[in-house]
Copies of this chain bind each other. A is one copy, B any other.
């Protein structure tokens, strides 16, 4: 085999290779579609729970269906005392926030008697349980890490409202709730990114739903995937003030330094999600005294487009959004997962329904004729 040509696909991250058909989300023309709806339309007109219903069922709910679905999610939002003890043990370690979340979600699966049910109804039941509880888990972990008592969810409120209240111990304003809810809608799914692909590969072995999601979290943890929004905030702090933006960009362009949150492998006209967050976040940034940071991001965006022809991706504004909402940088990637769990769930449902185990080949570039030499002669 070593004599053959190395195939073109090797070591290119499967770029351009179609792994599956899908009807959940796609990058189409200049925008992102969920189930055929543009992300702009959904961000403006639908809440997160409505969007999750769309992703899982292929259709938007009517008022009765939405109320029922919200009730089902809400019914799973409260954590047991036993599970909170588990979270406390995990929170006490000094590990990466996503390593903790990976462990917490894996453990959450152990307490589901229906975990092994991978029929469509079984997966939807598990996805409802996990998506309903996910925000509570992330919020509880955040507070436990800071030595604070977890706050229970309030019935009749959205996942967005409850999350902000449970993390901060302070009820969100209507603007804050809308902003965070929109951020959840924007992050819910994004075609075959590495974490979604991981979840589908796990599902293709007919493993259980919680293994699929744990697998997704393992990949989302990687700095090439989640985590760029935190890097944008670090960059803003490094630059410091508005008047230093231009020289920072000049230096980056001249010396080929990476500007965080800029550029995307697939969108050519810029990430539509970044545009939505840019506009929607201004009010909350002003109220939080972070208007300067917002102006700095807008200036960086203009300069990068002018000088390099590159546009921002979703991570460019989301870190500032979360900061303006009073959230900690170490919770940014777990917050991504509060939303993305919904997309992973839709994607593994689709994988189970039309499955073939993923089993690509590795191309051998090593020797084929070695013989074991007795250890005394090595």
| A17-B17, A18-B360, A21-B362 known; A224 vs B205 contact (CB < 8 Å) | yes
**In whole angstroms, what is the CA distance A111 to B375 when docked?**
36
Interface size for A (C-beta < 8 A) is 107
**In whole angstroms, what is the CA distance A206 to B202 when docked?**
19
Contact B110 A361 (CB under 8 A): no
| A19-B10, A20-B362, A378-B60 known; A99 vs B211 contact (CB < 8 Å) | yes
Number of copies of this protein chain within its complex: 2
Contact B205 A17 (CB under 8 A): no
Contact A370 B13 (CB under 8 A): no
Contact B116 A96 (CB under 8 A): yes
Residue A212 at the chain B interface, CB threshold 8 Å:
yes
CB distance from A361 to the nearest CB of B (A): 5
Contact A214 B207 (CB under 8 A): no
Residue A23 at the chain B interface, CB threshold 8 Å:
yes
| A111-B93, A198-B202, A221-B207 known; A60 vs B373 contact (CB < 8 Å) | yes
Of A159-167, A187-195, A234-242, the one with at least 4 CB within 8 A of chain B: A187-195
Q: Which residues of B contact A89 (CB under 8 A)?
A: 86, 89
Residue A121 at the chain B interface, CB threshold 8 Å:
no
Q: Which residues of B contact A61 (CB under 8 A)?
A: 375, 378
Residue A289 at the chain B interface, CB threshold 8 Å:
no
Q: Which residues of B contact A215 (CB under 8 A)?
A: 198, 202, 214-215, 218-219
CB distance from A278 to the nearest CB of B (A): 22
Contact B358 A197 (CB under 8 A): yes
Q: Which residues of B contact A22 (CB under 8 A)?
A: 362-366
Q: Which of B115, B358, B373 contacts A194 (CB 8 A)?
A: B358
In the complex, chain A residues 268-297 whose Cβ is within 8 Å of any chain B Cβ: none
Q: Which residues of B contact A225 (CB under 8 A)?
A: 205, 207, 357
Interface centre among A35, A94, A366 (most CB of B within 10 A): A366
A-B contact pairs, 17 of them (CB 8 A): A11-B20, A14-B19, A16-B360, A18-B361, A20-B362, A33-B368, A33-B370, A36-B368, A60-B373, A61-B378, A99-B106, A192-B360, A197-B360, A205-B221, A205-B223, A207-B218, A211-B219
